[in-house]
Amino acid sequence: SGARVRRASNKRLPEYLERGVDVKFTDVAGLGKIRLELEEIVKFFTHGEMYRRRGVKIPGGILLCGPPGVGKTLLAKAVAGEAGVNFFSISASQFVEIYVGVGASRVRALYQEARENAPSVVFIDELDAVGRERGLIKGSGGQERDATLNQLLVSLDGFEGRGEVITIASTNRPDILDPALVRPGRFDRKIFIPKPGLIGRMEILQVHARKKPMAEDLDYMAVASMTDGMVGAELANIVEIAAINMMRDGRTELTTDDLLQAAQIEERGMLDRKDRSSETWRQVAINEAAMAVVAVNFPDMKNIEFLTINPRAGRELGYVRVKMDHIKFNEGMLSRQSILDHITVQLVPRAADELWYGEDQLSTIWAETSDNARSAARSLVLGGLSDKHHGLNNFWVADRINDIDTEALRILNMCYERAKEILGRNRTLMDEVVGKLVQKKSLTKQEFFTLVELYGSIKTMPPSI
Ligand code: ADP
């Protein structure tokens, strides 16, 4: 399974195309009557001729309105999957954060590709980031956004009524959109996707249970009633957290209890999350994303199961950090190279902080991992594993403390540079992963590796020590 993803022609553009999207309406649960409206959009593609002959105008854009995590993106994909057309997607928040002038040209490039690959669905996530009423934002950021918005309007008009390229956009704030966007022929159709009710939550849990080994007597209703107020993304998270716990305990089946415990973790996380500022979210996201983006280069660490920036769940279950284990180390179970890789990953939070926030704004988010790196580097030297081009080749040098520290420092510096080098050549990938993490709070293995495939520059170049 898994949608086949084509590498975008220009790798620096974050637009992407998915051919053969394999998401179907059955993957989206708890829709109720909304499903009928979405089936109609599919018909615009499959029965376009019939509409045209009868003079029925096909909308150029459809607005999916609703809070984050209710499945808007998933639905847009399902429309493409059901219609059997290509799927392009981009997050509007990417337009505005990047350099001046890039937003508009990205929109143009996106629509050009969509047209060349028609029929297609163009999905614009978080439309309000760029579609806010003009004049509401002041300053240069506002100008850049206006240029992007204007280009979007032009692009939408280019397809009016033709039904070859249909744009689906998501927003949580349809009320603040620029009136020009919602004029007839543009986003003239709104579909509201509310948070799921009790039955909806049960159905969503069941959809995600399909891919997991669930106990036969699992009480979905119990979990659904425990999760009042949660959206699909959170319910999907619960199933993932439960599955990781199950694996950790060496069990092979997910039980009601696993899900209830996972629901509590998610719930507690939800409460903690309320107090976080958007800058904190972003900082944690940069930290998590950077570790995963570097780790994916290393053979021993590339099995990234799940990424999350949710508190609690995030600290324990985010990207799996491998702590340097002295026993393992002394038994020679780790190669010199994999120890260096571990040290490098431990230094990533510090390196990311420097790259994204600058030397003078370093935070303490990396204090713990930096400590791990320091002791690992010392162990490496003490264990005589750094002897390659150096005189320190045995235990008998252990009393030459200065030499050991100097050598450990040299290794730390080298690994630090390596971390920065990998991050430096993966800035686009970082932007993508950070953007998605901030928005969705967590990424599945598949979502992460799709981004790596599209935007990553992965090559290992082991340093010699
Ligand atoms: P939105 O675009 O509204 O923010 P997404 O579509 O990105 O939400 O949802 C994130 C993930 O949460 C989905 O990929 C899916 O795994 C899960 N999810 C959300 N809503 C549903 C739903 N109604 N049915 C099944 N899964 C859902």
In one letter, which amino acid is 404?
A: I
Ligand 1 near 74 CB (within 6 A): yes
Question: What does the pLDDT read at residue 338?
Answer: 80
CA atoms of 379 and 324, how far apart (whole Å):
9
Compute the residue count for the chain: 465
Per residue of the chain (465 residues), give pLDDT as tens.
333 333 333 333 334 666 668 899 999 998 888 888 999 999 988 988 888 888 887 877 899 999 989 999 999 999 999 999 999 988 776 665 545 566 788 888 888 888 888 899 999 988 887 777 665 545 545 566 678 888 888 888 876 556 689 999 999 888 889 899 988 888 989 999 999 999 999 999 999 999 899 999 999 999 999 999 899 999 999 998 898 888 888 899 999 999 999 998 888 777 777 777 888 888 889 988 999 999 989 877 777 777 888 775 444 444 444 444 444 555 556 677 888 888 898 899 889 988 988 766 656 666 667 777 888 788 777 776 665 444 444 444 445 667 778 888 889 999 999 999 999 999 999 999 999 998 888 888 888 889 999 998 887 655 555
Strands 187-192 and 86-91: unpaired
Question: What does the pLDDT read at residue 134?
Answer: 64
Ligand 1, atom 11: nearest CA belongs to which residue? Answer: 233
For 2: left if phi > 0, alpha if psi spans -120 to 50, otherwise beta; the answer is left
Residue 16's beta-bridge partner residues? 89
Ligand 1 near 14 CB (within 6 A): no
Q: How far is the CA of 204 from the centre of ligand 1 (A)?
A: 9
CA atoms of 321 and 339, how far apart (whole Å):
13
Q: How far is the CA of 465 from the centre of ligand 1 (A)?
A: 46
Q: Which of 342, 336, 340 is nearest to 324 (CA)?
A: 342
* Ligand 1 pocket mutation, candidates 65, 74, 266, criterion most atoms within 8 A of CB: 74
- The string of DSSP letters for 94-117 reads HHHHS-TTHHHHHHHHHHHHHHHT
Question: What does the pLDDT read at residue 15?
Answer: 46
* Max Cα-Cα span within the chain: 90
ipTM over 0.85: yes
In one letter, which amino acid is 205?
A: L
CA atoms of 143 and 94, how far apart (whole Å):
15
pTM above 0.80, yes or no: no
DSSP state of 430: H
In one letter, which amino acid is 314?
A: G
Q: Which of 246, 207, 245 is nearest to 224 (CA)?
A: 207
Ligand 1 near 71 CB (within 6 A): yes
Q: Which of 438, 351, 378, 409 is nearest to 125 (CA)?
A: 438
Ligand 1 near 200 CB (within 6 A): no
Question: What does the pLDDT read at residue 235?
Answer: 95
Tokens of 277: 């500022």
Cα 72 to chain centroid, rounded? 15
Residue 7's beta-bridge partner residues? none
In the β-sheet with 16-19, what is the strand arrangement from edge to edge?
Answer: 4-5, 16-19, 86-91, 120-125, 165-171, 61-65, 187-192
Question: What does the pLDDT read at residue 399?
Answer: 53
Task: Give the count of beta carbons closer than 10 Å to the beta carbon of residue 89.
Answer: 20
Calculate the dihedral angle through the C-alpha atoms of 347, 353, 354, 356, rounding to the nearest 10 degrees.
130
CA atoms of 463 and 211, how far apart (whole Å):
40
